[in-house]
Amino acid sequence: MYGECSVVGGFGKPCPFYEDAPSILQGLSPEDRAETLRLVESRCPALLYDEEGNRKDDNDIVACCSGYQLSIFEESLVVADGIFGRCPRCMRNFVRQICEMYCSPEQDRFVEVDVETDNFGVDYVNEVNYRVYEDYMTNAFNSCAGILVPQTGLPAVNLMCGNAAACDADAWFGFTGDQSINPLAPLQINFLSWPTPEDSMSAEAPLCHETEEGDIPCSCMDCIANCPAGNEPTLPDICTVFSVNCIGFSVGILVFAITVTIFMILALLEFRRRGTGSDGVEKEYTYKVNPITKLFQKVFEKIGRYAAGNPILMIMITSWIAFGLCLGIPRVYMTNSPLELWSEPSSRSRQEFNYFNSRFGPFYRASQVFLTVNLDNFVVSNTTYGPAYRLEAIEELIKLEDAIINISRDEDSVKLENVCYAPLRPIGAEQRVEDCITMSVGTYFPDRVVNNATYLTQIQNCLNNHLLFNCIASWGGGADPEIVVGGYENNILLADTLLLNFPINNELNEDDLVPVLEWEKKFIDLMHDYEENWKSDFMDVAFGTERSIEDELQRVSEAEAIPIVISYMLMFIYVIFALGNIRQCKTFLIDSKIVVGTASIVVVLVAIACALGILGYAQFTITLLAVNVIPFFILSVGVDNVFLMVNTLHEVEDNIKEYDDFDNSLNFEEKKCFIFSKVMGNIGPSMFVSSVTQITCFGIGSLANLPAVRSFALFASFSLGLLFIFQVTTVVAILAIDYKRLKENRLDLFCCVQKKVVEDEETFQEKKPFVSRTKKLMTPYAKFLLNWRVKIIVAIIFMSFLSICIILIPQIVIGLDQEMALPKDSYVYKYLVAVSEKLVLGVPVYFVLKSGLNFTDTDHQNVICGSQMCRDDSLTTQIFLATQYSDITYMSRSSNSWLDDFYDWATLRNACCKYNVTDGSFCSSTSTAPECSYCSIDRGEFANGLRPDSEAFYKYIPFFLQDDPSDACPKGGLASYYSNVNYILDADGRAHVHDSNFMAYHTTLKTSQDFIAATRNGYEISDSITAVIREQTGTDVEVFPYSVFYVFFEQYLTMWADTIKFLSYCLIGTLVINLIATGFNIVITLALMITVIMVMIDMMGIMYMWNIPLNPVSCINLIVSIGIAVEFCSHMAYAYATSKAPPKEKIPDALRRVGGTIITGITFTNIPIIVLAFSYTEIIEVFFFRMFFSIVILGVLHGMVFFPVLLSYINDLKYKV
């Protein structure tokens, strides 16, 4: 072949040539000779050297191509330069095979031509069989395989593999010469991979790291072999023993050994004392009231006396206070917004979220559909395709997509074009649906027609290169294959799911969101209609919008009220029948306390309402879920105290004559005041300790860095505080009124009716004291429990379980999967499952570069860019290296880079940059206006003109960011970067770049642990980038990562530290409160704190056993476990401290006094928790049923079994009994 002799289809066709190759410079003018020589030196330098490698004389340079062909050849390489020019070695290999085919003097050795005749009788070459040595093809392909397209982060070779199932050397070379799929191919070239070098083009094809002299090495991003070694990320080695953490195992075994040894020694000492019959100091013991305890008793005695003496006044005062506080309820701001609930406004991620929104606008809202095709795979032309590519599936997808696009099309209502994300739409331009970004396989069919014979070829072309000319949608871009098909692992052709993606504009102003929310509602309605009425049987659909989760949370919060109301009713019924000591059926309405029970529950609800009012006055945000759950918890605590007060009332009344200050001459009112003063003196301090401890725990919980958890904790704290105040005042007043009713033999509920005493029946007041069955059981129970053999067995069992829990604690999973907040029958739950199981590309992550760099300074450029001569630890290179270890870093695709694409855009001569010759303003590269001409961009001195000079940077950055990408200039930055680079024009019109961002992608994140790890690695990468920039430039520039989920998962990065901190604060608070309340009684405080810590640790062990993850919700519940443990132990501790029995009998006496109340008043009132096991959502079932149920069980076991045993051992040591 030589020269061109015909034009067919707009392409010049070479002439058949059967002579020796002529001199390429012969007969040329000096100007043409110089230009041709330049082209040979730059594009086909192999023609300049003989077989020994010596430079030929200019006149001896022979070739089978003309200078004109070389100039056409040079122009045709513009697109290739834009793709492969980033790596000179690759570009040389790519150009070499073209030069050899067209220009090699040995052309006949490896080229066979098919000659045809045109309409003018001229012969021309229409088809070529080109034998290329297989090693050359493989090495040339490998030298280019690593080059990435900065705009997409995808391999550049994918752009030139056509519809091949796999992009390899054969596909790559085949595409370049196949006129049926490559519109730029001038003739049909059949590349034949040849096994022998003798009869094939067998030039050497060095790999990308083998740099030719004078060339600039390929960058790390484009040639992995040039990347620095030794910086590979690694996962820390975790020591395990029997699949558990070494440290946890060691600590657990050590605790078991030490504690069991201690208890064995204590048991041995007790056995010896019992053997010697020593009674220690028992004979000399005299009960002494602790001064601080006495002070507490006096205070509460006065409160009890006043409340009982003035019940109506007390009820009126507290009612007025409650009324005033409840007026704040209308001011309560309730929300289900995930951002407001689960993101701390002052957190790093939230500040960065706000920064990103203020500089680049909020991230778009996603409306998405997953269509899973339940059909079999099928085979076409020896290629297996997944069911997603079946014709009927594609047709249904397009039908559904058209229906979504046409939502409200025939109505005077919001339409897709009014709310869609359209980055290429000029500001103020007409809103056209064609400008809206939509991404699906349907995008690959711009005419919306699916031809059964060709549709698979079209899809495969676009899967390999979604920026191919016939894959571009009307909005100016292509649909990334990894977000339009899913449900596959490695082979995209085996996909079983089709995706529809509709990015919707997001707005910071709530008023601007109104039409967006309206369209999303119409979208959801349409999808429900599709699923119910016109979906094909082989389709399974999942869908969701930005508003979906919030809507479902609202619906679920309302639905959750049902099981919670059932729990309230069960608790209400239990309280009504359990409070009264029913002696016999005929005295039922006298002995019952239905009014007291009802009034007590009302008091609890009023306390909760007042707390809600306080939150309203303080303008706190709260959730409907908290409003549902808090009353449940507060009600159980409140009812506990009422049981204690009623039981103590009976005990005081039955033993009233034992009080030294009791006077038999007191009238009824005085006696009533005396009794209630003693009731409050006995029970008030323990109620105070329990309540203050719980308030302290929740108060510390309010330090959590999540608004939802903080408002939950504050709500609980205020409720508990007000409840305590109302109980020691209002409830005492109610009990005093009921006491008078009881003494007057008036009926409960019908207090106006008085029962008369008949015959010789003794009056009610003279009946023998009634002792409940539970209280009767406490005597034999105490005797059994405090047997020395039983005590040591109890100690060993509890210490064994404690040690097991310590071993298991490090295995607790951190996180909170968002599916847990939704019922499994919710369409949003189904959508979230589809996202985690079907989507193969993760969430975008933006690395935001704050202002402060001088982008005309090459040192500053080199710490950002990723192309030639950029640093190996630059921003884009570090992100790229992270993607090479995606299983560790959770980064799947390298970032785009406006800086690198600007270099390429400015380098492509006569292809991209255009300006208006009349005023110097911008012209699009696609403009054909006569006043628009190509720019002449001056090159800088750095690396022999590798990049534009400083003035060119200032001048042409705005041009680049306004230029549409096109076939001739794919590097235009309008689509990819216009909204991602902020610049300011100075007085001279020069652009100074300020904030910009670089978009990459995370891997598919399925669980909350994946999201947490991705967040952690995002911060680690950005911190490393920031450190390099500051070190190399001396500036204070910062880089931070931004992804939509970071605001929700940043908290988990310090979850263990925060949990330990909060629990420690609570334990310290509990220690201080109990020390003070017990009058610095070390014995009681030590026993109580040990028990509380054991409950907390055991609860954490159960979290692992029962699959309860650690998160702010479970952290709050762990704090609650401390309060509940104190509730179960404090009354026993107070009974022990105030027991007048001899030291040996103190524990049995305490058990007899309050043990029954702990069972009936604290444990049984929490039985309705079981109803929560049947709640609609897993979050209620896991974090409220499982945890609260476990806390109650642990509390009663430790409070009624271990705590008395521990107290017994310490008591024996103290008194030597």
Question: Quick one: pLDDT at residue 762?
Answer: 45
Pick from 895, 1045, 863: which is nearest to 980 by CA?
Answer: 895
For residues 397 and 369, what is the distance between their CA atoms, to the nearest angstrom?
10
Q: How do strand 123-133 and strand 148-149 relate by DSSP bridges?
A: unpaired
- In the 3-class helix/strand/coil scheme, how is 736-774 assigned residue by residue? HHHHHHHHCCECCCCCCCECCCCCCCCCHHHCCCCCCHH
Contact at 8 Å (CB) between 1149 and 1141? yes
Pick from 747, 743, 736: which is nearest to 764 by CA?
Answer: 743
Contact at 8 Å (CB) between 15 and 3? yes
For residues 1018 and 768, what is the distance between their CA atoms, to the nearest angstrom?
74
Within 8 A by CB and 6+ apart from 1167, the residues are: 570, 574
For residues 298 and 293, what is the distance between their CA atoms, to the nearest angstrom?
9
Within 8 A by CB and 6+ apart from 406, the residues are: none
For residues 79 and 74, what is the distance between their CA atoms, to the nearest angstrom?
10
Pick from 222, 212, 45: which is nearest to 143 by CA?
Answer: 222
1092, burial (CB in 10 Å: exposed 0-12, middle 13-18, buried 19+): buried
For residues 23 and 1169, what is the distance between their CA atoms, to the nearest angstrom?
96
Least confident of 197-211, 609-623, 654-668: 654-668
pLDDT in tens, 1072-1127: 888 888 778 888 889 999 999 999 999 999 999 999 999 888 888 888 888 888 88
Q: Does residue 1133 carry a pLDDT above 70? A: yes
Higher pLDDT, 279 or 191: 191
For residues 227 and 210, what is the distance between their CA atoms, to the nearest angstrom?
13
| Residues 286, 292, 294, 300, CA torsion sign | negative
pLDDT in tens, 1172-1183: 788 778 888 898
Look up residue 813 and give its DSSP letter. P
Q: Does residue 756 carry a pLDDT above 50? A: yes
Q: Does residue 766 carry a pLDDT above 50? A: no
Pick from 358, 365, 816, 329: which is nearest to 550 by CA?
Answer: 365
Contact at 8 Å (CB) between 927 and 914? yes
Higher pLDDT, 745 or 947: 947
Question: Quick one: pLDDT at residue 580?
Answer: 67
Q: Does residue 1188 carry a pLDDT above 90? A: no
CB atoms under 10 Å from CB of 1054, counted, come to: 11
**pLDDT, average across residues 668-696:** 87
Beta bridge partners of 15: 2
**pLDDT, average across residues 353-369:** 92
Question: Quick one: pLDDT at residue 764?
Answer: 43
Residue-wise over 288-313: b if at least 16 C-beta within 10 A, else e? Answer: eebebbeebbebbbebbbbbbbebee
Helices (H), 490-623: 514-529, 548-559, 561-579, 588-591, 594-617
pLDDT in tens, 457-502: 889 888 888 877 778 888 877 888 999 999 998 889 999 999 999 9
Q: Which two tokens stand for residue 710?
A: 């903080």
For residues 127 and 13, what is the distance between their CA atoms, to the nearest angstrom?
10
Helix orientation angle between 624-654 and 732-743, rounded to the nearest 10 degrees: 40
Question: Quick one: pLDDT at residue 770?
Answer: 54
193, burial (CB in 10 Å: exposed 0-12, middle 13-18, buried 19+): middle
Measured in degrees and rounded to the nearest 5, phi and psi for residue 128 equal -130, 135
Question: Quick one: pLDDT at residue 358?
Answer: 92
Percent of the chain whose pLDDT exceeds 70:
95
Q: Does residue 521 carry a pLDDT above 90? A: yes
Q: Ranked by mean pLDDT, which of 502-516, 728-742, 961-975, 1031-1045 comes out on top?
A: 1031-1045
For 620, the 3-state DSSP assignment is: coil
For residues 762 and 583, what is the distance between their CA atoms, to the nearest angstrom?
14
Question: Quick one: pLDDT at residue 273?
Answer: 77
Residue-wise over 635-670: b if at least 16 C-beta within 10 A, else e? Answer: bbbbbbbbbbbbbbbbbbbeeeeeeeeeeeeeeeee
Q: How do strand 365-373 and strand 378-380 relate by DSSP bridges?
A: unpaired
For residues 1139 and 128, what is the distance between their CA atoms, to the nearest angstrom?
108
For Cα atoms 644, 648, 651, give the angle at the middle one, nearest 5 degrees. Answer: 145
Predicted confidence band of residue 99 (pLDDT cuts 50, 70, 90): very high
Q: Does residue 233 carry a pLDDT above 70? A: yes
CB atoms under 10 Å from CB of 82, counted, come to: 22
Q: Does residue 760 carry a pLDDT above 60? A: no
Contact at 8 Å (CB) between 1073 and 1196? no
Q: Look up residue 757 and give its amino acid.
A: V
Predicted confidence band of residue 588 (pLDDT cuts 50, 70, 90): low
Q: Does residue 553 carry a pLDDT above 60? A: yes
The pTM for the full model equals 0.86
Question: Quick one: pLDDT at residue 1179?
Answer: 84
Higher pLDDT, 337 or 186: 186
Question: Quick one: pLDDT at residue 11?
Answer: 87
| 693 CA to centre of own chain | 33
Pick from 802, 696, 814, 812: which is nearest to 1095 by CA?
Answer: 802
Q: How do strand 621-622 and strand 333-334 relate by DSSP bridges?
A: parallel
Predicted confidence band of residue 1217 (pLDDT cuts 50, 70, 90): low
**pLDDT, average across residues 780-804:** 93
Higher pLDDT, 511 or 997: 997
For residues 624 and 849, what is the distance between their CA atoms, to the nearest angstrom?
39
Give 832-881 as a DSSP string.
Answer: HHHHHHH--S--EEEEEE-S---TTSHHHHHTT--STT--TTSHHHHHHH
Supply the Cα-derived Rg of the chain in whole angstroms. Answer: 41
User: Which residue carries 């004392």 as its tokens?
Assistant: 273
Q: Does residue 278 carry a pLDDT above 60? A: no
Question: Quick one: pLDDT at residue 913?
Answer: 93
Least confident of 402-416, 700-714, 939-953: 700-714
Question: Quick one: pLDDT at residue 685?
Answer: 86
Question: Quick one: pLDDT at residue 978?
Answer: 87
Question: Quick one: pLDDT at residue 485?
Answer: 95
Question: Quick one: pLDDT at residue 511?
Answer: 86
Pick from 440, 570, 435: which is nearest to 495 by CA?
Answer: 440
Q: What is the mean pLDDT of the chain?
A: 87
For Cα atoms 738, 741, 743, give the angle at the middle one, nearest 5 degrees. Answer: 110
Q: Does residue 427 carry a pLDDT above 90? A: no
109, burial (CB in 10 Å: exposed 0-12, middle 13-18, buried 19+): middle
pLDDT in tens, 14-46: 999 988 899 988 888 889 999 999 999 989 999
Predicted confidence band of residue 374 (pLDDT cuts 50, 70, 90): very high
Q: Which two tokens stand for residue 530?
A: 């599709």
Helix orientation angle between 1203-1215 and 1112-1137, rounded to the nearest 10 degrees: 40
Q: Does residue 538 carry a pLDDT above 90? A: yes
Residue-wise over 144-165: b if at least 16 C-beta within 10 A, else e? Answer: bbbbbbbbbbbbbbbbbbbbbb
User: Which residue carries 């000659």 as its tokens?
Assistant: 115
Q: Does residue 934 carry a pLDDT above 90? A: yes
Question: Quick one: pLDDT at residue 423?
Answer: 81
For Cα atoms 720, 722, 723, give the angle at the middle one, nearest 5 degrees. Answer: 60
Q: Which two tokens stand for residue 663?
A: 């006077």
pLDDT in tens, 561-583: 777 777 777 777 777 777 766 66
For residues 463 and 636, what is the distance between their CA atoms, to the nearest angstrom?
60
Higher pLDDT, 754 or 666: 666
SS3 percent helix, strand, coil of the chain, rounded to 5, is: 55, 10, 30
For Cα atoms 1066, 336, 604, give the angle at the middle one, nearest 5 degrees. Answer: 50
**pLDDT, average across residues 211-223:** 87
For residues 898 and 977, what is the distance between their CA atoms, to the nearest angstrom?
6
**pLDDT, average across residues 229-239:** 81
| Residues 928, 932, 935, 936, CA torsion sign | positive
Beta bridge partners of 68: none
Question: Quick one: pLDDT at residue 180?
Answer: 82
| Residues 368, 369, 372, 378, CA torsion sign | negative
**pLDDT, average across residues 137-160:** 87
Within 8 A by CB and 6+ apart from 558, the residues are: 624
For residues 444 and 446, what is the distance between their CA atoms, to the nearest angstrom?
6
Question: Quick one: pLDDT at residue 761?
Answer: 46
